[in-house]
Every structure is written in C-alpha cells, then in structure tokens.
Structure 1
Amino acid sequence: MPSPSSKATAAADRAWLAGDPPASEIRERFPAEWATVQRELTAVVDAGDVEAIKRYAARVAGGGGGPAVRNDREAVRVMARQRLAADALRQMGVAAATGVTGGRLRFGLVSGWITQRLLFAGGGLERKPVSMRAFRLLWPLVRNKSYLMPLVEPRGIYCFYSRELVRGLRELIGDRAPCVEIAAGDGTLSRFLRSEGVDVVATDDHSWQKTRREQVGDVVVQDAVAALRERAPRVVLCSWPPAGNPFEAEVFRTASVEVYVVVGSRSEFAAGNWDAYRAATETGWTLEEDEALGALVLPPQIASAVWVFRRRADG
C-alpha cells in the first residue's frame, strides 16, 4: 500500500501537471518518463512506418493504449509521458516541415524586423492578416526562414493567415450560419473572419500550455464535442487540429454540419485525425484539397493544406 507521503507527492505532481507547465520543465522533473518517450518515438520513427507513427499519435491523443495503472504515482507518470509524447510529436511535425531539429535559433536584426512588421501587429506576438503582395515582396529578404516556426510554435502559433486566405474562407462559408470554429486556441482565425463580416463563434476548451498567449477574451470556453452538439453549426472550421485527436470524428456525426474546413498539414502525422477523415469519405462525405486556399497559408515552407469536407446529398 502506498504511504501517505507517496500519495501526497503524487497529488502534488498531478496538480503541477494540470497547470500545463512547459515541456522542458516536465522533462527535468520526469527524466525516466522522457527516456521512455524517446525510446518509443525512436522505435516508430526508425521503422519508417507512417502508420505506426499515426497509431502512436492516436494513442497519445487518446491517453490510452497502455497497461492499467496500479496506483496514483503510476498514474502521474503516465500523465507526464502523455504530455511529453504529445509535445515531441508536435516538434516532429515542425521539424519535418522546416528541417530544423535543434540548436539555438535566432533571426538576424534585419530579418527579425521584417518578420515582425510583416506577420505581427504591434511589437508582440499578436498575428495580423498578412498581405500576400507584401509577403511576396518582403519574405525573400528574410534569412534563415526555417527558423521562424520553431521559434513561434511553442507560443501556440502553427501558421499565419493571409488576408486573401481569410477572404477566400469567407466566400467558401457564404451565408451558411451558424458557423463555429472548434479547438480555436486564441481565436485568431475567427477574429480575422469576423473582421470580414463572417458570423463565426470561436470555441476552445482552453487546455493549453502556459507558453500560449493570454489574449482569449472572445473565445468561448467549450470543448469541441459540446460546441457541436449545443450550437448545431452548418459550417465548422478547425486550424491545425492535433494529430490523432478524438474530437474530429464528432464533426462528421453531427447532423447539422454541411461543410467542414480544416487548415492543416500535408503530413498525416503532424495534424488531424486521418482515420476519421477516411471513414467520413466512406459514410456520406466528400473530401477535396483546395490548393488555391492552401497556397495562401503562410509561410509556404510548412507545406500547409486546406481540406474541405462536404456532406453529400445522399449522406
């Protein structure tokens, strides 16, 4: 039987993990769990089996797949491994897209100034709708382009939205209402769409890492499943859904949904629940890649894609 002190330690660690500390601190506090995650990831990656990577990502996202835990302390270790594995998978997605796998990343003074003016509003990390004309003019002047995403991804920024992309999404959505963004993070995409006259509600369960920004006043605190059931949207948006997540399958089961738009990655293990996507195309949905819209997701180095699902008339 675990001692009272052991239970108290486990409770303290669980509370600490529930506060979403940075992954670097979790690695320091749980070195054995980090070693386990490294071994697991090395095994699936070295095998070169994309399906194995996807299964691992799905297991991490679902929090299951392992043996039953025997006590509170073991449950905390499982929780730590899940957090570390999820972070490592996100980093793998960034590394695969950019080619940057480690080291200290720094922009030069000029490149930093150009990037700040081009992609962000003011002097912070609040994204702005990017002019494609300005981007095409200034982006070639930025050195070390591959450094950008590894620098901003820990802040919850997985891509940048051009003004032309936002307007293209507005046309795609049309007059369908209600429109809901799920897993909206800080609500940037919905904020841009509202500025273009789209009636859209941003929802998120706010289960974020502390590294993400705090400005979330216009995001409704609601998990994806609840948002779909209670709001009955005709159009659903999601930008960079976690790989193997459990909630996207609910989009296709929601009777009110006519169109589902995903801004994500060409890499199946970097974003999205591809098992749910394939199942949907067999049960009443069409799937197409909108290459014109995908080309408007920035920067091009991350190989983003815009996937559009439409419910078939006979679906």
Structure 2
Amino acid sequence: MNDKTPEQQWQWLQSGPGLSALSEACPQDWLLVRDELAAVFARRNPAELKQLVERSSQRIKPDARFLSGERNGRAFADFVRAQIRQRMTELALRQYAFSAATGVYQGKVRFNFFNGFLAQKLLFKHDLVRKPVSMRAFKCIWPLLWQKRLLMPLVEKRGIYCFYSRELIAGLARIIGQRSCLEIAAGDGTLSRFLSDAGVDITASDDFSWGKVLQYPESVQRMDAAAAMARFNPQVVICSWPPSGNRFEKQIFRTRSVETYIVLGSHSRFITGNWADYEAQTAFAWQEDAALSKLVLPPELKAGVWVFQRKSA
C-alpha cells in the first residue's frame, strides 16, 4: 500500500476488500488490530467487547476538511489508515463469531461425496439454488452428515447465510397475511421467492453491493433500503441476515407505513443486525419468536427471528 496515495487507498477500501487482502496490503496495521483484539478477548469484559463491536461497525465519511484537492496530506492519510484498521477489526470480529458458530477456524473446507450428495438433495433445488426444506426430512438426514459443520463456511462465500424451512415460510406468511411486504438487503431474492410462492404480496430489493459474489435475478429491485421503503410504502418489512452495525435498519423505524418488521439473524451481535438501533427505537415493541427461530436452518447457527410490532398511538 506504500506505493498508493491516500486517495487511492481510500478508493480501494470502498471496493470492499476482505480481511486477507487488507492484512496482506497493510501488515503493520493488522498487527496492531490483532494485538488489540487479543487483549480484549483475554480480559473477557463484555462491556469492552460490546464497545469494540459498536466502534468497528461505524461508517465514517471524509468530512469537509478533505476536499478533493486536499487528500494527499498527512491528515487524510491518518484518516484512511484509521478506517482500514476499523474495517479489519469489524471483519475479524465477524470471522471469529462465524467460526465459533460453525466450528471451523482454519484450513480448507471441503465436503466428501456422501456428505455433499445428501446436503445437495436436502437443501438445494439444483446447484446452489435453495429450496424450502422439509423439517421432517431435515431431522432425518441432517444427523447423518458428520461434516455438517463445513456447510456454512462453504456456502457463505456465495452469499448464503442460512436455509429456510417450509414451516418457517408458512409461519412468516401467517404473520404477514394479506399486507404488502418489502424485503430489504434481499440478496438473490430466495426468501422473497419462497414467500411469494406461499401467497405473500412481497417485493425484493437490494443495493447490489454484493455483485462480485451474487447473481441478482430480475425479480430483485435495484435500490437501497431507504429508496425502496419510500417507493413502496410497505406495511411489513423483512430482512434476513442484515449486516452487523448496518446504517439502513433505522430507516425502517422511521417509515410511517411500516406496521411490522421481521428480522432473521444470528444471536451473535457480531454477525447480524444493528442492535443499538433496535434498543434505541421506541415506536415498536419487539421480541424473539422462539418457535420460528427453531425453523431457521441449520440449528448450529443459533439463529433467531425477531418481530417488531408498531405500538398503537
């Protein structure tokens, strides 16, 4: 990275490099981040860890001090390096939490033929196109897979963070009913496709920021969450695996048309959701639907379904 100007480094950071790319490009910064994380984990202070998570998930843009002609000075260089270290911290925390959930911390991840064949038949319609999974079939077949902990590290690289059971889709459809529904951060639109097949009036939207990983179908509208809510004025909003510390969920609580917001995500606050915004908002009462949580697959993810209902005036 020493051969790049601060402006070039900033533009590269905006392209979303992964933790490996960041640590290889900025080894000294990675050593500082690694040492800080090791010290925090060693102290085992929940409050300190929570503060670190919240700080690492903040997105800061260059302010008026850094005009286009002022981005090669020392101040902007320091700003960029700080943002690189912050991004490293966020990705490292997410990787740690995900590894803890899946049990895979290092080494290559690969299914053998038997495990791969059963997983494919159980979870996918074809290739990596998911299907609603029968809980009955899942309970019979899943215990037979002795490599089950390898599943999520394999599919996560293709933008798949969980699987949806038929019973889960039916339960979500009952909550939504005949109301208009919008899925934000919909990815490849799998959840919206399943809900639509169940009779739900739903529109899928995504800002297409994961274009290098996903192939977006025509059924997914290209727009960010705020634009989608302003255009469709949904009564129900649903989001599956919202990024940790995201900036868009707060817009849901500010949208007057929204009566219900449904979140599918991880119990680990390192992996999904903006928990600070969940706890700060006062317009909605919310709680986990424990019955639906058990229907998000696989169970090793320790996933949850949280339902926010607007309070009556």
Q: State whether TM-score is above 0.5.
A: yes
Q: Deviations over 1:165-190 (max 9, x none)?
A: 1121111100112x111122222211
Q: Counterpart in 2 of 1:253? A: 254
Q: Is 1:91 matched up with 2:90?
A: no
Task: Give the superposition deviation at 1:7.
Answer: 9.2
Number of the residue aligned with 2:142? 139
Structure 2 unaligned runs (5+)?
Answer: 67-73
Q: Give the TM-score normalised by structure 1.
A: 0.86
3-state SS, counterpart of residue 265 of structure 2: strand
* Cα pair 1:107 1:143 within 8 Å, conserved: no
Q: Which has the higher mean CA deviation after the structures are superposed, 67-76 or 213-222?
A: 67-76
What secondary structure sits across from 2:264 in the alignment? strand
The equivalent residue for 1:297 is: 296
Q: Does 1:208 align with 2:204?
A: no
2:57 counterpart SS class? helix
C-alpha spacing 1:126/1:10, structure 2 compared with 1 (3 Å): farther
Contact 2:187 2:214 in 1 (8 A): no
Task: Evaluate the alpha carbon distance shift between residue 23 and residue 268 of structure 1 in structure 2; reply closer, same or farther with a 3 A threshold.
Answer: closer
AA partner of residue 141 (structure 1): L
After TM superposition, list the pairs within 5 Å mapping 1:89-238 onto structure 2: 89-122=93-126, 124-177=127-180, 179-208=181-210, 210=212, 212-238=213-239
**Offset of 1:131 from its aligned partner?**
1.6
| Gapped regions of structure 1 (runs ≥ 5) | 1-5
Deviation string, structure 1 residues 268-291 (Cα, Å, up to 9, x no partner): 3322111221223xx232112111
Distance 2:302 2:252 in 1: 24
Alpha-carbon distance in 2 for matches of 1:228, 1:182:
9
Superposition map of 1:6-25 within 5 A: 9-25=5-21
Of 257-266 and 35-44, more deviation after overlay is shown by 35-44
Q: Does 1:26 align with 2:22?
A: yes
Partners of 2:94 and 2:270 within 8 A in 1:
no
Query: How many Å apart are 1:72 and its aligned residue?
Result: 4.8
Pair 1:198–1:27, CA change in 2 (3 A): same
Q: Is the alpha carbon distance of 1:49 and 1:232 closer, same or farther for their aligned partners in structure 2, counting shifts above 3 Å? A: farther
C-alpha displacement of 1:299: 0.2
- Give how far 1:75 is off: 4.5
User: How far apart, in 1, do the equivalents of 2:123 and 2:230 lie?
Assistant: 35
Distance 2:309 2:9 in 1: 44
Larger relative contact order (Cα-Cα within 8 Å, sequence gap ≥ 6): 1
Q: CA RMSD in A?
A: 2.6
SS at match of 2:287: strand
In 2, the alpha carbon distance for the partners of 1:30 and 1:256 equals: 45
Aligned AA for 1:144?
Answer: Q
On the 8 A contact 1:294/1:304 being kept in 2, the answer is yes
**Contact 1:92-1:270 at 8 Å conserved across structures:** no
Paired residue for 2:70?
A: none
Distance 1:108 1:268, change over 3 A: same
SS of aligned partner of 1:269: coil
- How has the CA–CA distance of structure 1 residues 247 and 46 changed in structure 2, closer, same or farther, with 3 Å as cutoff? farther
Distance of 2:105 and 2:86 partners within structure 1: 21
Q: State the Cα deviation string for residues 253-275 of structure 1 (Å, max 9, x = none).
A: 22111101000112233221112
Counterpart contact for 1:20–1:208, Cα < 8 Å: no
Contact 2:13 2:84 in 1 (8 A): yes
User: Out of 22, 34, 37, which is 1:38 matched to?
Assistant: 34
Evaluate the alpha carbon distance shift between residue 55 and residue 216 of structure 1 in structure 2; reply closer, same or farther with a 3 A threshold. Answer: farther
Q: Residue in 1 aligned with 2:52?
A: 56
Return closer, same or farther for 1:301/1:66 CA change in 2, 3 Å cut-off. Answer: farther
